[in-house]
A and B are shown apart, each in its own frame.
Chain A
């Protein structure tokens, strides 16, 4: 039902052929995507994929080398202030004033992001309640735990009820409880009609949260679609990860319906239909090629296996 919403408000966030270079190095190559109100759009990629760079371009902090970005219909370069007026950002780093209390931070960021002072008073306890920090309102942020700071970082991004919310790895370094809470909060934002761009390298989060996803690697968009569409790209194949020793001959194995995704001396990843039933056959073939298997895991089709299939490497390495 939520997934259907975005088609009703298309183009809250539109990125066309975005490219950002730092000198000779291009951090983002030709990324295009579109997300609407009420939608959580996942931007999934490993370290250095260009996720933060993309967010900084949307926020007007960086000027794109080429391409266009519109937020709520406003071009971020030509109508920067108007575009930013619809924007809320929770940066990857904890960007808070540590000497100030939770309440004072919200007051400051509320004003900075254009929240009217009349709204401010009612809104602050509401947001603190949402992130579970109401009882710590008067404490300086520097006394907070890592997870509490994360929640506070998030709170400052939503205090002004933005139409477009950019979340850059909002769950980095938090305990499972805080993580669950933050994911809940993100869903709530989308339910209230916000367009959320959610950046992460946790596959499980993206699978649990996002209506649509883009997978990026080395600044390139390598797949985009709904979770279902992306899963279909794997053709219902399982991911088999083996540990042991695998000489070069193993990489050349040819078995029906089995694809070698990744090969290293001590690790091998395979894409296999109904893997559980075919393991003895696989082990036999590896032994015949001079290899040895010491451990095996079988994973159902997932974004993770898709990522490995598309890039030939693990997401978090």
Chain B
């Protein structure tokens, strides 16, 4: 135990004295975060979501409503596809689309009679941004937004969270100039949208766009950090300190555990700073801050152990560096660290959810949004196995003479 602490202390002192290596591992993702936020927050690159529309009414009004999604800026973010209700539901079950909008028969009459009406929106629970976007548009629509969309389409910025009261007031003021015919039709609320989504995900804590990107970026930091800290394994071997330790009486398992401990301290510091910074700087909200913190450190540690096992099995320090680089970057991409999984092509997103980092990031989002589901424990158990396997393989490599080289 004393030895373990001595190893951890030594590693931490090393990091404190020579922080350049770690700084870049945290700095790069931070820069990416800022860049992506500004790009996504602007209007150039947007995630493309798929909205399935089942138009059972088939009237002029329903067509006007559904065509709102394929116009202007919205068309760049949402790809719409007309389906039958049955087909749409089947595809939603398969997770193939962001949302399914069902416009039942009778919309046209109700709309023209100015009677309340109900639309059904089925949202994909594993996605967060795009279903929200569709919901956003519909809510704008139901509050008279359909006409706003037609008249002020260019100014519609859906990426801000729900329209604030101020924004609605602004929209109303501008609407007055549009004409009586429009105004009479725009009296809210004409249409009520019924949301359908698995109960476990309610209530959802809304977060800012920066907050949506935050888990992925944090994971990217943790991946880079693990990689940087694992590179020390080879440095210790090249330098001869590991050989010297192998000739000392304390078991090498203590050295390994001490390193993990140091990594966890650094991970905890980074997670803490990122979460606090994300909250105050990017407006991220956390439904379960303690759980989120523990989860981040835990998943970071198991990924650290997995990367360290890879380092131990490389043939040289260069091979180790190349190998982990080749692995970490695609993992980060597929695992939703550069752009949220929702916005990736479905095939990549499917793989991404199976990567340890991607799965961990998904759970981070859930912990940010609200109550945890059972899959948290499934993913947790899988990460525990990954970390355990990483440790066992590393120890085996050490016992088989990694130090001697």
Q: Give the one of B9, B14, B243, B403 with max A CB within 10 A.
A: B243
Cβ–Cβ contact A93 & B240, under 8 A:
yes
Distance from B401 Cβ to chain A, minimum over Cβ atoms (Å): 7
Residue in A62, A85, A87, A95 whose beta carbon sits within 8 Å of that of B401 in the complex: A62
Cβ–Cβ contact B245 & A112, under 8 A:
yes
Cβ–Cβ contact A95 & B10, under 8 A:
no
Cβ–Cβ contact B404 & A113, under 8 A:
no
- In the complex, chain B residues whose CB is within 8 Å of the CB of A111: 2-3, 6, 250
Please tell me which stretch of A99-107, A183-191, A298-306 contacts chain B, meaning at least 4 of its Cβ atoms lie within 8 angstroms of it. A99-107
Residue in B10, B240, B248, B401 whose beta carbon sits within 8 Å of that of A100 in the complex: B10
> B165 contacts the other chain (Cβ, under 8 Å)?
no
Cβ–Cβ contact A113 & B243, under 8 A:
no
Cβ–Cβ contact A100 & B241, under 8 A:
no
Cβ–Cβ contact B248 & A112, under 8 A:
yes
Interface set, chain B 226-251, CB cutoff 8 A to A: 239-241, 243-251
Interface string of B1-31 (1 = CB under 8 A from A): 0110011011001100110000000000000
- In the complex, chain A residues whose CB is within 8 Å of the CB of B248: 84, 87, 89, 109, 112-114
Interface set, chain B 280-309, CB cutoff 8 A to A: none
- In the complex, chain B residues whose CB is within 8 Å of the CB of A84: 247-249
CA gap between A93 and B6 in the complex, in Å: 22
- In the complex, chain B residues whose CB is within 8 Å of the CB of A107: 6
Distance from A225 Cβ to chain B, minimum over Cβ atoms (Å): 28
CA gap between A282 and B244 in the complex, in Å: 52
Cβ–Cβ contact B3 & A60, under 8 A:
no
Cβ–Cβ contact A97 & B247, under 8 A:
no
Cβ–Cβ contact B6 & A56, under 8 A:
no
User: Which chain A residue has the least Cβ–Cβ distance from B254?
Assistant: A112
User: Which chain B residue has the least Cβ–Cβ distance from A96?
Assistant: B241
Cβ–Cβ contact A62 & B404, under 8 A:
yes
Cβ–Cβ contact B10 & A114, under 8 A:
no
CA gap between A56 and B6 in the complex, in Å: 24
CA gap between A62 and B404 in the complex, in Å: 7
- In the complex, chain A residues whose CB is within 8 Å of the CB of B240: 91, 93-95
Interface string of A47-67 (1 = CB under 8 A from B): 000000000100111110000
6 nearest A-B residue pairs (beta carbon): A59-B247, A95-B240, A93-B240, A99-B17, A95-B244, A111-B6
Please list 12 pairs of residues, one from A and one from B, whose beta carbons are closer than 8 Å in the complex, sorted by A's number.
A60-B247, A82-B249, A84-B249, A89-B247, A91-B244, A97-B241, A104-B10, A104-B13, A111-B2, A112-B250, A113-B248, A114-B250
